[in-house]
Amino acid sequence: MYQNLLERFIRYAKVNTRSDATSKTVPTTQSQVDFALKLVEELKQIGLSDVTYTDANGFVTATLPANTDKEIPTIGFIAHIDTADFNAENIQPLVHENYDGQDVVLNEELDITMAVSEFPNLKNYVGETLITTDGTTLLGSDDKSGMAEIISAMEYLLAHPEMKHGTVRVAFGPDEEIGTGADLFDVEHFAADFAYTLDSGTVGRMEYETFNAAQAELTIQGSSVHPGTAYNRMVNALSVAAQFHNLLPEEEVPEKTKDYEGFYMLGQQKGNIDKVEMTYIIRDHDTEKFQSRKQHFQDLINQMNAQFDYPRISYKMYDQYYNMGDIIKKDMTPVHLAEDAMKALGIEPIVEPFRGGTDGSKITYKGLPTPNIFVGGENFHGKFEFVTLEAMEKATSTILKIVELGAEENTRAKNL
């Protein structure tokens, strides 16, 4: 349906663009820079205008100029270059044409199979062109699919000038997977009225509500002495850590919550009797409940410290992102437009609160409303990741329909 979509996706997927949370550079890896610079040349070659790579934030941006004099809002489409914290070296996508619905052998030599019994969602793709890993890396459909879909849609619009549209802006940025890429996104430079990130999963999915998110980093200072002389002297930091964790609500963890329910999650812990370091994330969709969760967390730390001669638990807490739904609900135009586009294509919109965050969370709070829509992939961030060509075609068609309806609906509104 889109001549270069499959080739483009596979070409992108083969490049290791994994981000690095320990790096202090922007982007965090040189491979992302190298990829972005090659992308600049590709965008110029297909005919986009104002193609720019910005050193300060690592974003590639470009413009598809309007081909009509009508006043039409500028729509943006955004995807991220980096891939997640999983092996991304020597990615070898496998293409299974006319998938038969059976177990998929990813790597015969290493005896790695994607079994339908474990992944029954494979049955949804019988007859389609299935693209998988070779069982040793991730695939990178998150978000190389989104990139390929956006660029293929722009390529289609350039080849079909009879389809009238307003100005379209596109952006491809770094470090989404480690939560820092959108921090430096330049909304003023992007100059769109609203935008979409292409970073959700299965066909039809769209999110405009995300968590409010915070992270807390705790340091517990113990006193390590020989167990033979420990009476009234030892303070076991490991035990203090366990006591603190057990004070948190047992049922309010990711594995026991869903929908709009918030949680606390211990994500990392390391240490010994003398010192323990712990990292928690705190999440809630509701702003007031989010603030209450943070306060409760701090109250528990104070409660624990009160039992010692001096505070043994120190911490840093900072907000990471906020629920973009609180802003987007004030003007649901981009949400309704995407829903209408999907319905026009025979795709049933699946609009649910997102139990996480996207680049759109931060970009929305920078002043650009940015819901998140599907790219078509499944099982992100691991060796069983897959996507089908047909799902990517539907995502590409959705982009085009959003652009088309955006022009038509604006025209109708002005004529009323």
Taking alpha carbons only, the member of 17, 351, 83 closest to residue 207 is: 351
Q: Tokens 């940015």 sit at which residue?
A: 370
Query: What is the rounded CA–CA span in Å between residue 104 and residue 96?
Result: 9
Q: Is 394 exposed, middle or buried (0-12, 13-18, 19+ CB in 10 A)?
A: buried
Q: Hey, what domains does the chain have and what are their CATH numbers?
A: 5-209+324-415 (3.40.630.10), 212-321 (3.30.70.360)
- pLDDT tens sequence across 2-29: 889 999 999 999 999 999 999 999 999 9
Cα 158 to Cα 147, 330, 399, distances in angstroms:
17, 33, 14
Instruction: Give yes or no for residue 1 having a pLDDT over 90.
Output: no
pLDDT bracket for residue 416 (50, 70, 90): very low
What is the CB-side half-sphere exposure of residue 310 using CA atoms within 13 A? 3
> Picking from 98-107, 219-228, 298-307, 402-411, which range would have the lowest pLDDT averaged per residue?
402-411
Instruction: Provide the b/e sequence for 250-266 (b: ≥16 CB within 10 Å).
Output: eebeeeebeeebbbbeb
Which amino acids are annotated catalytic? 82, 176
Helix, strand, coil % in the chain, rounded to nearest 5: 35, 25, 40
* Residues 415/407, Cβ–Cβ less than 8 Å: no
DSSP state of 120: G
Q: Tokens 């739904």 sit at which residue?
A: 325
Identify which has the larger pLDDT, 62 or 409: 62
- This prediction has a pTM of 0.90
Residue-level pLDDT at 167: 97
What is the residue-averaged pLDDT of the chain? 95
Strand partners of residue 214:
282, 319
pLDDT bracket for residue 106 (50, 70, 90): very high
